[in-house]
Structure 1
Amino acid sequence: MINYFNTTDGQITPIPAYQRNCWVNVERPSAAEIKHLQTRFNLPVTYLTAALDDKENPRTEGTEQSIIERPALILVRFPHESVSPLGYNEYTTYPFAIILTAEVLITVCNHPAVFIQDFLFHQPQLNINNHERFTLKLVWFIHKSYLNCLDENSHTMDTMEKNLTIATENNDLFQLTAMQKSLIHFQWALRKNRQLLTQLQASEFYFETAPFSELLSDILIESEQAATMTAQQKQIIDEYNTPVSAIVSNNLNIIMKVLTSITIILTIPTIIGGIYGMNVHLPGASSARAFTFIILGTIVVSWLAAWWLRRRNFF
């Protein structure tokens, strides 16, 4: 799917067809769309297909030359929310290609990029004609989305911690496993993205002027913050797994202890009823109030048993 955008009075707005210096956003392109873009803008096909490989590493191509001589490719990884095989929310990362040419800026991804919706919603005062600034803003929003995902992760951890007192199932452990996978994906992607940003800082043809250098430094700060949060959360979850397992197991033991105590108390009337249900002569069996005495005695003995178990913290 191909969408076209341009800026009107500093606002990014969709347009029905291609215009020079517009932004071409491509999501899950078909073979025909890739062929069209390759032919229309004279691009290497690898620029357009790089983002279609989910395992592709962040990298740059063509940044060692002027944009007039050759289009440039900047490939970064962005976070994407998904569902684990067990049905729990987790995050993974996918490649996002930014292609700079003399007449158009093209972005390509193979999965829905939520950060683009945020980018359009916040409507930064941008001119798409300034491809380098527009590119850096996109990269900044990508790293901002990492921070948003990490904040959501932190909120999930806080909710889990509040529910630990009543946790008796493996749901929390499965959720922790999904979060751990997410953080491993983030750790790897952020490390590769930082290497990419360092390469861009060293470029002699792109982002070398002062405003771009400052914005690139801001992106590196966001990336470093995301990497720090990822490392902290991963360490917490690594240490968190054992206590959560112990708490869930302990909660199950408490339930079993309560059920065992109830079983003991209910066994007392069963034993007494079984004894007085035997077809033999028993003390008090001939009394007119035998049934009343048996019931009262059963209640007293059961209460005493319950009182004794309660004093021993069985429930």
Structure 2
Amino acid sequence: MLKIYRSNCTDLYELTLQTLERGAWFNLINPTPAELEQVAATTGTPLDFLKAALDEEERSRIELEENHMLVITNIPVTRGHDSYDALPLGIVLTPDYIITICLESNEVLADFKSENHRLFSTFKKTRFLFQILYKSATLYLKYLKQINRRTDEIERYLRRSMQNEEIFQLLELQKGLTYFAASLRSNGIVLEKLLRLRSTSQVQHLIKMYEEDEDLLEDVIIENKQAIEMVEMYSRIMNGMMDTFTSIISNNLNRVMKFLASMTIILAIPTMVSSFMGMNVDVPFGGNGGFIITLLFAVGVTALSAFGLWRKGMF
């Protein structure tokens, strides 16, 4: 899907390839090969730049050519309940346009809409780039807080009962934290490189930084570092929680096995006594009242055994 937008002081309006204006924003979501070729021909962008973000395994990086700069950053996405992932987002800066490419519709770009047109300007390409990166960093923080709240809920469930479903949910959240950690670190490298590029003459015609833009970039770096710290903290907490619940499950299993072993010993005693007294040979107390005596003897020995096992903590 290809959408072209241009903002002004009063509105964000949509354009076409025939009514294209300088300062437009090309937004490509899961584009077709024909759309990629159209954008490449219209903007002069290398086709490899446009295709780079369509690989789900693509890492964050920056590539420079004479009149084009490609910034690939990983943005957070949700894959359903308790499932989080990171997806590459490509941002191409040209002297006249800004282009975003992603495999899926996402919450990062969805925030740049006509209702919020006063908060961004498509023709201020550098600031718009930093605003996209800032939105991505804040979205990481938002999802991390959701993961933390969900972890607390699962912990309360696990305190009452050990169910496999809650354990699997914790594993899914832990997987999401792992994806976030890798993505945030690579995003941090990209942000540091952008900070260094601000004084490089090679990209002065692509990136024009004013004081507000530098402050915004520094805010993005701070938010990204905060997200990395939160990921590391939540990962340590979740790892400790998983180890604790694993120990609890193992301890509960040991208690069950100990109880079953004690019950086996107790039930074996009357079985053994009745087996001896039930032989088809002459045995003591074989006359009248022998059954009662044998029963009382078995009950007495069983009670003594149960008391001894109880004193040793087997129950």
TM-score above 0.5: yes
- Tell me, yes or no, if the aligned pair for 1:59 and 1:75 is still in contact at 8 Å: yes
Equivalent position of 1:126 in the other structure: 119
The one-letter amino acid paired with 2:135 is: F
- Tell me, yes or no, if the aligned pair for 2:70 and 2:92 is still in contact at 8 Å: yes
Could you say what secondary structure the match of 2:71 adopts?
Answer: strand
TM-score by length of 1: 0.74
Separation of aligned partners in 2, 1:141 and 1:252:
47
Deviates more, 1:146-155 or 1:235-244: 235-244
- Tell me, yes or no, if the aligned pair for 2:74 and 2:187 is still in contact at 8 Å: yes
- Tell me, yes or no, if the aligned pair for 2:266 and 2:305 is still in contact at 8 Å: yes
Q: 1:124 to 1:222 in 2, by over 3 A?
A: farther
Q: 1:119 to 1:311 in 2, by over 3 A?
A: farther
Equivalent position of 2:231 in the other structure: 230
The CA deviation at 1:193 is: 1.5
Confirm or deny that 1:79 pairs with 2:80.
no
- Tell me, yes or no, if the aligned pair for 2:60 and 2:190 is still in contact at 8 Å: yes
Equivalent position of 1:306 in the other structure: 306
Indicate the RMSD between aligned Cα atoms, in angstroms: 4.1
Equivalent position of 2:60 in the other structure: 58
Residues 190-232 of structure 1, C-alpha deviations (whole Å, 9 max, x = no match): 2322222223234254352122222212111111101112233
The one-letter amino acid paired with 1:210 is: E
The CA deviation at 1:94 is: 3.1
- Tell me, yes or no, if the aligned pair for 2:8 and 2:121 is still in contact at 8 Å: no
Q: Which runs of 5+ in 2 are unaligned?
A: none
The CA deviation at 1:121 is: 11
Q: 1:224 to 1:55 in 2, by over 3 A?
A: same
Separation of aligned partners in 2, 1:138 and 1:97:
11
Which of 98, 119, 122 is residue 105 of structure 1 equivalent to? 98
Deviates more, 1:248-257 or 1:181-190: 181-190
Separation of aligned partners in 1, 2:143 and 2:280:
73
The one-letter amino acid paired with 2:125 is: H
Separation of aligned partners in 1, 2:114 and 2:283:
86
Q: Which runs of 5+ in 1 are unaligned?
A: none
- Tell me, yes or no, if the aligned pair for 2:154 and 2:166 is still in contact at 8 Å: no
Q: 1:127 to 1:240 in 2, by over 3 A?
A: closer
Equivalent position of 2:86 in the other structure: 93
Equivalent position of 2:188 in the other structure: 194
- Tell me, yes or no, if the aligned pair for 1:93 and 1:189 is still in contact at 8 Å: yes
Equivalent position of 1:139 in the other structure: 133
Could you say what secondary structure the match of 1:279 adopts?
Answer: coil
The CA deviation at 1:303 is: 4.4
- Tell me, yes or no, if the aligned pair for 1:23 and 1:128 is still in contact at 8 Å: no
- Tell me, yes or no, if the aligned pair for 1:200 and 1:207 is still in contact at 8 Å: no
Q: How many residues align?
A: 303
TM-score by length of 2: 0.74
- Tell me, yes or no, if the aligned pair for 1:4 and 1:23 is still in contact at 8 Å: yes
The one-letter amino acid paired with 1:310 is: W
Q: 1:267 to 1:222 in 2, by over 3 A?
A: same
Which of 17, 23, 26 is residue 24 of structure 1 equivalent to? 26
Equivalent position of 2:2 in the other structure: 2
Separation of aligned partners in 2, 1:16 and 1:272:
95
Deviates more, 1:113-122 or 1:188-197: 113-122
Deviates more, 1:98-107 or 1:119-128: 119-128
Sequence identity percentage: 28
